């Protein structure tokens, strides 16, 4: 049997519909998108930097990229084209490519988890631009973004969540979300699509919070099954962290969450080894996964890896790519740039690069390395 293969990103970019009229086009859209991805792979942080990247390299690269004797687009052309790109089509193609990668690289029988979280593009919001919040779904633990949609005017999160779920493969997967997004409707949609959920519970779900708090306040009453417990200790940032997770199925028939399988309490003790000072925080949660499907250790892993999307995607976009200080305002340009950054992060993670900033510097020193990442199909 032939090994499975994922098309190169160059092939994916070639499928993008061009929003411009044929008359007057000087540069092919796929060529422009290739340069855009290459420039970001080499560390470019802005559209202006992208427009300056191509002319800094030799004629051989220009010919290979498909610009021939026309030269590279001007900054004005870049801004004009990017703000008109069909961002939904772009997101769909990028997401489909990442899904193909997951199908090739994933282990047989492996349960994939996806974290859902929003990210505010602060500068664009301050300057009055639309689409100031992007809602994304990224895999545990690599942080590969499989879908991303805009929250219009930062106010219509339920509609954006509906659009995001429509783009996701949910069957057989576990969805994690923060307390602001976790609700009965999201849980119901995930379960109806054949997936499972692991959600934190805070006071915005007060009845559920109080029930879990009451149950774990003492030992299980006589006649009820005992709580399942797992404890872990690790050293992080100079402190010891002791985690204790307790799970129960007793509340399944009491709480009205779709297909509820377990409720849990997670206690974290942060211990200063020098002073012995202990800071304790407690979190509650629920899941549709039954005990045979997810042990307490599994649930602890899902909870911890949910923050993959913050640490391995949003943080990298802000710190490495300086996204928070972007001044893009026109059309969908800031959304397109965010999608390209997600794609670049995914591409580098897939190829084993743990430190994105280091990988960008290596690519800047050798653009052919970056081009190979786009041009070579992935094989199993």
Q: Which of 275, 300, 325 is the last residue of a domain?
A: 300
Same domain, 269 and 343: no
Separation of alpha carbons 301 and 7, rounded Å = 32
Report the SS3 class of residue 175: strand
Same domain, 226 and 292: yes
Residue 218 belongs to some domain of the structure: yes
Q: Checking phi first, is residue 113 left (phi over 0); if not, alpha (psi -120 to 50) or beta?
A: beta
Q: How confident is the model at residue 80 (pLDDT cuts 50, 70, 90)?
A: very high
- Beta-carbon contacts of residue 75 (< 8 Å; ≥ 6 apart): 47, 48, 51
Residue 158 belongs to some domain of the structure: no
Same domain, 277 and 359: no
Same domain, 293 and 210: yes
Q: How confident is the model at residue 39 (pLDDT cuts 50, 70, 90)?
A: very high
Separation of alpha carbons 175 and 94, rounded Å = 20
Residue 115 belongs to some domain of the structure: no
Angle at the Cα of 175 from the Cα atoms of 214 and 348, rounded to 5 degrees: 135
Mean pLDDT of 304-330: 87
Strand bridging mode 378-379 / 174-177 = unpaired
Q: Is the pLDDT of residue 32 over 90?
A: yes
Same domain, 267 and 200: yes
Residue 325 belongs to some domain of the structure: no
pLDDT at position 126, please? 47
How many angstroms from the chain centroid is the CA of residue 360?
19
Per residue in 160-175, pLDDT (tens digit) is 899 999 999 999 999 9
Same domain, 374 and 286: no
Contact call for residues 263 and 285 (beta carbons, < 8 A)? yes
Residue 174 belongs to some domain of the structure: no
**CA neighbours within 13 Å on the CB side: how many for 210?**
3
Mean pLDDT of 121-149: 77
Same domain, 347 and 287: no
Q: How confident is the model at residue 125 (pLDDT cuts 50, 70, 90)?
A: very low
Separation of alpha carbons 81 and 336, rounded Å = 11
Same domain, 356 and 264: no
What's the DSSP call for residue 66?
Answer: T
Separation of alpha carbons 363 and 368, rounded Å = 8
Same domain, 343 and 254: no
Domain around 38: 5-88+339-379
Same domain, 295 and 344: no
Per residue in 48-68, pLDDT (tens digit) is 999 999 888 877 887 888 777
Same domain, 276 and 361: no
Residue 351 belongs to some domain of the structure: yes
pLDDT at position 153, please? 65
Per residue in 261-310, pLDDT (tens digit) is 999 999 999 998 888 899 999 999 999 999 999 999 999 999 999 998 99
Cis peptide before 320 (omega within 30 of 0): no
**CA neighbours within 13 Å on the CB side: how many for 159?**
9
Give the CA distances from residue 236 to residues 241, 265, 266, 282, 307, in Å, rounded to whole numbers and listed in that order: 7, 22, 18, 18, 16
Residue 159 belongs to some domain of the structure: no
Phi, psi values for residue 338, rounded to 5°: -65, -40
Beta strands in the chain (DSSP E): 5-6, 113-120, 133-139, 145-151, 174-177, 196-201, 228-236, 239-248, 262-271, 278-287, 378-379
Contact call for residues 11 and 37 (beta carbons, < 8 A)? no
> Which structure tokens are listed for 55?
């002319």
Q: Is the pLDDT of residue 2 over 50?
A: no
Longest CA–CA span in the chain (Å) reads 83
Residue 73 belongs to some domain of the structure: yes
Per residue in 241-270, pLDDT (tens digit) is 999 999 999 999 999 999 999 999 999 999
| Total tally of structural domains belonging to the chain | 2
What's the DSSP call for residue 330?
Answer: S
Same domain, 288 and 343: no
């Amino acid at each position: 049997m032939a090994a499975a293969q994922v098309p190169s990103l160059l092939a994916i970019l070639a499928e993008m519909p061009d929003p411009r009229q044929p008359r007057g086009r000087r540069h092919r859209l796929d060529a422009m998108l290739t340069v855009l991805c290459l420039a970001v792979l080499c560390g470019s942080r802005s559209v202006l930097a992208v427009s300056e990247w191509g002319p800094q390299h030799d004629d051989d690269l220009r010919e290979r990229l498909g610009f021939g004797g026309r030269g590279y687009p001007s900054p004005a052309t870049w801004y004009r084209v990017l703000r008109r790109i069909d961002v939904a089509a772009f997101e769909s193609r990028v997401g489909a490519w990442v899904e193909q990668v997951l199908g090739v690289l994933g282990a047989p029988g492996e349960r994939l988890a996806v974290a859902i979280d929003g990210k505010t593009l602060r500068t664009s919001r301050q300057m009055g631009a639309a689409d100031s919040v992007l809602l994304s779904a990224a895999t545990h633990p690599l942080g590969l973004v499989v879908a991303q949609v805009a929250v219009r005017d930062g106010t219509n999160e339920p509609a954006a969540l509906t659009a995001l779920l429509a783009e996701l493969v949910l069957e057989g997967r576990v969805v994690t979300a923060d307390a602001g997004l976790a609700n009965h409707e999201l849980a119901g949609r995930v379960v109806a699509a054949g997936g499972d959920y692991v959600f934190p519970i805070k006071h915005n779900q007060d009845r559920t919070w109080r029930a879990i708090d009451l149950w774990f306040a003492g030992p299980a009453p006589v006649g009820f099954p005992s709580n399942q417990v797992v404890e872990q200790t690790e050293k992080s940032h100079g402190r010891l962290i002791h985690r204790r997770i307790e799970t129960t199925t007793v509340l399944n028939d009491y709480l009205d969450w779709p297909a509820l399988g377990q409720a849990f309490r997670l206690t974290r003790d942060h211990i200063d080894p020098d002073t012995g000072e202990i800071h304790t925080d407690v979190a509650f949660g629920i899941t549709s996964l039954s005990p045979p499907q997810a042990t307490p250790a599994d649930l602890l892993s899902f909870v911890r890896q949910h923050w993959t999307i913050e640490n391995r995607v949003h943080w990298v976009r802000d710190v490495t790519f300086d996204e928070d200080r972007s001044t893009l305002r026109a059309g969908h340009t800031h959304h397109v740039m965010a999608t390209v950054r997600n794609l670049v992060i995914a591409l580098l993670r897939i190829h084993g690069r743990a430190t994105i900033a280091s990988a960008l510097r290596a690519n800047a020193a050798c653009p052919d390395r970056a081009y190979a990442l786009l041009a070579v199909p992935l094989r199993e």
